[in-house]
Structure 1
Amino acid sequence: MSLTDVYITRTAAYFPNDPVSNDEMEEYLGVINEQASKSRRIVLRNNGIKNRFYALTKEGKATHTNAQMASLAIRKLMNENAGELASLELISCATSSPEQLMPSHAVMVHGWLPETGNVEVVSPSGVCCAGMHAMKYAYMSIKLGQVEKAVSSASERLSPSLRADKFELEVQKLSELQENPYVSFDKDFLRWMLSDGAGAFLLENKPNAHGISLRIDWIEGYSFANEMDPCMYMGAEKLADGTLKSYLDYEPQQVIEQSIMSIKQDVKLLGANIVTLGFKKLKLSLDKKGIDASEIDYFLPHMSSYFFEDKMYDEMKSLGMEIPKEKWFTNLGTKGNVGAASIYLMLDELFNSGKLQKGQKVLLGVPESSRFSYVFSLLTVC
């Protein structure tokens, strides 16, 4: 079977509302138990994020759904044109924050796009790597000749789960038990890390007739879940033996009183492993494909925090694949950590920056801390 080349021919991003500065965050997220967060300033100083976006008002009212934001990014991608939307054959949509357990996120996105007709939809689950999995499904479908034109998207709406009112019953219960009425750091930490938004790519079996395209040379993923305990999780509690206890196995009142549905991060496990585990696999991918790091013109690393930037650089250098910092491209500081959508938002900004020249190589790197997964992809500008 002959395999066709696959190209990203357009990119788009959608952000809800105006950017929210560090000083405004608690106006949107609120304070827990009428006490300012102990960790907010420390976390913000380390993560280097200056602005982020929330799909809600200061009163906590939703302005967009997750699926709606993804559909708006796709509409923007297709120039708000019903005919172009109707030409799609596949829609692959990822998120780590679906707003329902059923139906799938992708069919909810499709529900906002009636012009597309009865196309195939697929919804890869996961966390930050899910956006890359969505892209890989679309890439493989075109590569095999099953479709000629597909959209992949990634979106997040985590802000509602970060609001103070989601933790009030927990701190009230702690107060009743005469314990420290502060939400634990593993929950509070992520309140200052995450952002809302959506991105989308158009993938086709031929490059743009006018303007640049990005040929997808390869996409490779690796999981360390066979070696590592969960590190970031939601809808569960981590037990002493490292396993997760599902919200389904708690009494309804316990789910509320212990904020079981909140998103949590084992910060010690994160810091000790997120960089060292995955980048040796990037070295393996580059070596397998005969690519030297000196050939990379742009490196787009998904980072939850600038805290990891130097650690990532040092690790890559130690593995013999140093990419100078001037070749790194990220918009974490201005757009925030948008989980699965972050790599879409970075690539969209670079794609539309006017900086890319034909023949250049762009390397994407997406670590995921949930149970330590990584996806890497090499693109060539053409």
Structure 2
Amino acid sequence: MKEVYITRISKFLPNKPVDNDQMEEKLGKIGGKTSKARRIVLRNNKIKTRYYAIDENGQVTHNNAQLTKEAVENLCDSNFTTKDIQLLSCGTSSPDQILPSHTSMVHGFLKNGNMEINSPSGACCSGMNALKFGFLSIKTGQVENAVCAGSERTSSWMRADVFEDEVEQLSALEDSPILAFNKDFLRWMLSDGAGAVLLESEPKGSTPLKVEWMEGYSYAHEIEACMYAGADKLEDGNLKPWSEFPAKEWGKISLFAMKQDTRLLGENILVKGVDSLKLAFEKNNIGPEDVDYYLPHISSYYFKENLYDELKLQGVEIPWDKWFLNLESVGNVGAASIYVMLEELVASGKLKKGDRILLHVPESARFSYTYAYLTVC
């Protein structure tokens, strides 16, 4: 088996940062009314700025595949061009279409020649699953290099016009229609952007990071879906997919909007997250003392203190001085968040040879968790 190193890392965050007062102007007011949930959600998540692929005139500037293409090109220079990529592996929760696959579309924009591609589906863990496919492909000698990426373009799923048909239906039934909290909640949580890494079998570059191991865990056998799109949740907890609804119903219930069951989120996301972290620690014979930088992807600062408390409760407390977060300034970029976080840590100049970095990525879709353990070379 070969060793695997992250030798380059990049990000692409579109346009100018959007502050809290600009959000509703960018995304639009549903039914012409200001959201009642917005201030509550923003107060809890403590995100101050985020990025949208929407310009000053409200026009879309990039689709998801274009965001990813920009991040991939930001990895490259005259010494390593897009034509040198042997494997492209890209994860996202918000693909531009059902088919072709997300990575196929990214490859189409790159126009860089024939190569292998991989498109893992899912939510936040899809970016890490993209990384793991590249990691294993190099480790087994299938390829000599791999570009892996995570990206989101969720602003297009959150714009007011997505919910217009549903609000019209509600207006016919009641005087003051209010969009359900499980849909409105996510409008104030998510951000657009992309991140990418180059994996190689040699420790090249100014700050190469050796990928020691990656682990993944799913609790779908225990817990029903929490975050979903393209489906409606039934009373028994099962999802009814879009393909089983008449087309005329899709808009009436905002079927393709992202939705989240916040009750399930609060009950499970941290408990299972720490449980799976313990499994990863035990399998690889390490503990909190073997971590110098802890990068947990959290969707909201609401979870920060509670995550620390859960780590402590389950006996794997990680001191605050080891934590590295950038949620406040870049927002929750889903599958791209861990790439953007790692890029900022590397660019900070804080890392020194021998430092050990733990990446911890949850996804609430049906409670999956993915980990990577890196060493600075």
Tell me which residue corresponds to 2:6.
8
- Alignment pair present for 1:143 and 2:156: no
Tell me which residue corresponds to 2:375.
380
Kept in 2: contact 1:60–1:160 (CA 8 A): no
Candidates 26, 29, 32, aligned match of 1:31? 29
The one-letter code of the counterpart of 2:160 is: A
Note the 1:1-382 alignment, pairs <5 A. Answer: 3-79=1-77, 81=78, 84-115=81-112, 117-178=113-174, 180-208=176-204, 210-382=205-377
What's the offset of the Cα at 1:57? 2.7
For 1:237 and 1:58, the matched residues in 2 are separated by: 34
What's the offset of the Cα at 1:84? 2.1
SS at structure 2 position matched to 1:365: strand
For 1:98 and 1:281, the matched residues in 2 are separated by: 27
- Structure 1 residues 319, 83: CA separation in 2 closer, same or farther (over 3 Å shift)? closer
For 1:130 and 1:303, the matched residues in 2 are separated by: 15
SS at structure 2 position matched to 1:211: coil
Runs of 4+ residues over 4 Å off in structure 1? none
For 2:116 and 2:324, the matched residues in 1 are separated by: 33
Kept in 2: contact 1:29–1:58 (CA 8 A): no
For 1:174 and 1:59, the matched residues in 2 are separated by: 29
Q: Deviations over 1:316-338 (max 9, x none)?
A: 11222111111101110000000
- Structure 1 residues 27, 4: CA separation in 2 closer, same or farther (over 3 Å shift)? same
What's the offset of the Cα at 1:289? 1.4
The percentage of aligned residue pairs carrying the same residue is 53
For 2:175 and 2:253, the matched residues in 1 are separated by: 13
For 1:368 and 1:18, the matched residues in 2 are separated by: 27
For 2:187 and 2:292, the matched residues in 1 are separated by: 34
What's the offset of the Cα at 1:172? 1.3
What's the offset of the Cα at 1:88? 1.2
For 1:284 and 1:338, the matched residues in 2 are separated by: 26
SS at structure 2 position matched to 1:33: helix
TM-score, with length taken from structure 1: 0.97
- Structure 1 residues 49, 234: CA separation in 2 closer, same or farther (over 3 Å shift)? same
For 1:166 and 1:59, the matched residues in 2 are separated by: 18
For 2:314 and 2:101, the matched residues in 1 are separated by: 40
Q: Deviations over 1:182-216 (max 9, x none)?
A: 110000000000000000000000001x5221100
What's the offset of the Cα at 1:82? 8.6
SS at structure 2 position matched to 1:362: strand
Of 258-267 and 243-252, deviating more is 243-252
Q: Deviations over 1:66-89 (max 9, x none)?
A: 10110110000113x496222111
What's the offset of the Cα at 1:218? 0.5
The one-letter code of the counterpart of 2:321 is: E
What's the offset of the Cα at 1:112? 1.1
Of 54-63 and 284-293, deviating more is 54-63
For 1:244 and 1:284, the matched residues in 2 are separated by: 29
What's the offset of the Cα at 1:59? 4.5
What's the offset of the Cα at 1:292? 2.0
SS at structure 1 position matched to 2:348: coil
What is the aligned residue count?
377
Q: Deviations over 1:203-235 (max 9, x none)?
A: 000001x52211001100000011110000001
**Unaligned residue ranges in structure 1 (runs of 5+):** none
What's the offset of the Cα at 1:178? 2.2
Q: Deviations over 1:146-191 (max 9, x none)?
A: 1111100011001011111111221111111126411100000000
For 1:61 and 1:253, the matched residues in 2 are separated by: 27
For 1:227 and 1:98, the matched residues in 2 are separated by: 27
For 1:333 and 1:178, the matched residues in 2 are separated by: 37
Kept in 2: contact 1:301–1:364 (CA 8 A): yes
For 1:319 and 1:380, the matched residues in 2 are separated by: 25
What's the offset of the Cα at 1:287? 2.0
For 1:263 and 1:60, the matched residues in 2 are separated by: 21
For 1:255 and 1:47, the matched residues in 2 are separated by: 30
